[in-house]
């Protein structure tokens, strides 16, 4: 019984991140990104990357790296700082979903 | 006897003049020929340099392709698409990898052996590719239309 509960818990934990990605929530959160990365994820400023259609896992990793300081950038470091893991997943799902 | 000497002298004299003339003519034509050859060499040199640059770019792109896709559209979720990305952004990241401002165990060694001119070429190349996502892979496999677009991108 204990084993079953553990397995169940593990399953929930493992599938939770995949289920957590909410494109609509990501879109709502993306307002602050739009100034540099464009309203539709296509940047009008050559120094800033397009995000539309970028790989979800890549975007999520970069946001986490900006937040942790593994990838250093004065602008993105402070932008990513307040993001929760759910925000990161939602934003990544939203930008990956754009064409 | 004296007559013969005069004739011989005249003969030698005329022969020397004609030889000088022909020498001048031939040296002039040599000068013209070599200037044409020089111009052709310059054109050939430019063409050869351009060809060498293209060939070098092609070789480098082959190193990027396993992770970033032949057409700059990555088939692996953790690696970014590069096709259609801003050239300035791409170059900034390539330089950041080269000089370790952006640290990455894979990218830094890949990029640090390239010089800055080569990085400019690479950034230009990926920025010029189409980011049309309708051509991206289906279930991790490239579909036929994306294969076709890869071929046109190569040409």
The domain that holds A26 is classified in CATH as 1.10.760.10
Residue with tokens 């957590």: A20
Cα A16 from Cα B137, distance rounded (Å): 26
pLDDT of A36 strictly over 90: yes
A30-56 as b/e, with b when 16 or more CB fall inside 10 Å? Answer: beebeebbbeebbbeeeebbbbbbbbb
Residue B123's domain spans which residues? 32-154
Q: How confident is the model at residue A99 (pLDDT cuts 50, 70, 90)?
A: confident
pLDDT of B149 strictly over 50: no
Confirm whether B3 is domain-assigned: no
Confirm whether B111 is domain-assigned: yes
Confirm whether B42 is domain-assigned: yes
Confirm whether B23 is domain-assigned: no
Q: Which residue has the higher pLDDT, B54 or B23?
A: B54
Specify the number of domains making up chain B. Answer: 1
Q: Does A70 touch chain B (CB under 8 A)?
A: yes
> What is the pLDDT at residue B61?
94
Confirm whether B24 is domain-assigned: no
Q: How many CA atoms lie within 13 A of B87 on its CB side?
A: 10
Confirm whether A73 is domain-assigned: yes
Considering only the beta carbons, identify the residue of B74, B76, B102 that sits closest to A71.
Answer: B102
Q: Does B27 touch chain A (CB under 8 A)?
A: no
Q: What is the mean pLDDT of residues A32-41?
A: 95
Q: Does B128 touch chain A (CB under 8 A)?
A: no
Confirm whether A16 is domain-assigned: no
Q: Does B63 touch chain A (CB under 8 A)?
A: no
Considering only the beta carbons, identify the residue of B78, B88, B134 that sits closest to A57.
Answer: B78
> What is the pLDDT at residue A37?
97
Q: How confident is the model at residue B139 (pLDDT cuts 50, 70, 90)?
A: very low
Confirm whether B25 is domain-assigned: no
Cα A87 from Cα A91, distance rounded (Å): 6
Q: Contact B86/B96 with Cβ under 8 angstroms?
A: no
Tell me the torsion sign for CA atoms B85, B91, B92, B94. positive
Q: Which residue has the higher pLDDT, B99 or B141?
A: B99
pLDDT of B102 strictly over 80: yes
Confirm whether B2 is domain-assigned: no
**CB-CB under 8 Å, B134 with A46:** no
Looking up residue B92, the CATH number of its domain turns out to be 1.10.760.10
Confirm whether A61 is domain-assigned: yes
**CB-CB under 8 Å, A46 with B77:** no
What digits encode the pLDDT tens for the residues B41-88? Answer: 777 888 998 899 899 999 999 999 999 999 999 999 999 999 999 999
Confirm whether A59 is domain-assigned: yes
pLDDT of B17 strictly over 70: no
Specify the number of domains making up chain A. Answer: 1
Q: What is the mean pLDDT of residues A6-13?
A: 53
Q: How confident is the model at residue B32 (pLDDT cuts 50, 70, 90)?
A: low
Q: What is the mean pLDDT of residues A65-89?
A: 96
Confirm whether B27 is domain-assigned: no
């Amino acid at each position: 019984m204990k084993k079953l509960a553990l397995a169940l818990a593990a399953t929930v934990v493992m599938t939770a991140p995949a289920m957590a990605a909410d494109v609509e929530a990501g879109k709502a959160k993306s307002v602050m990104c739009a100034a540099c990365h464009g309203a539709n994820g296509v940047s009008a400023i050559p120094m800033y990357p397009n995000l539309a259609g970028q790989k979800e896992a890549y975007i999520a990793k970069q946001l986490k790296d900006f937040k942790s300081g593994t990838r250093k950038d004065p602008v993105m470091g402070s932008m990513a700082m307040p993001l929760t893991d759910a925000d990161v997943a939602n934003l990544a799902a939203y930008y990956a979903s754009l064409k | 006897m004296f007559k013969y000497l005069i004739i011989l002298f005249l003969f030698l004299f005329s022969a020397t003049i004609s030889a000088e003339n022909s020498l001048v003519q031939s040296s002039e034509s040599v000068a013209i020929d070599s200037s044409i050859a020089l111009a052709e060499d310059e054109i050939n040199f430019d063409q050869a340099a351009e060809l060498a640059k293209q060939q070098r770019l092609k070789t480098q792109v082959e190193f990027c392709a396993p992770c970033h896709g032949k057409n700059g559209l990555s088939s692996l979720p953790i690696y970014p698409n590069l096709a259609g990305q801003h050239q300035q952004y791409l170059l900034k990241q390539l330089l950041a990898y080269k000089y370790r401002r952006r640290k990455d165990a894979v990218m830094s060694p890949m990029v640090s052996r390239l010089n800055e001119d080569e990085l400019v070429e690479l950034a230009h190349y990926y920025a010029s590719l189409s980011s049309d996502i309708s051509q991206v892979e289906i279930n991790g496999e490239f579909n036929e239309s994306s294969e076709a677009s890869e071929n046109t991108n190569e040409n």
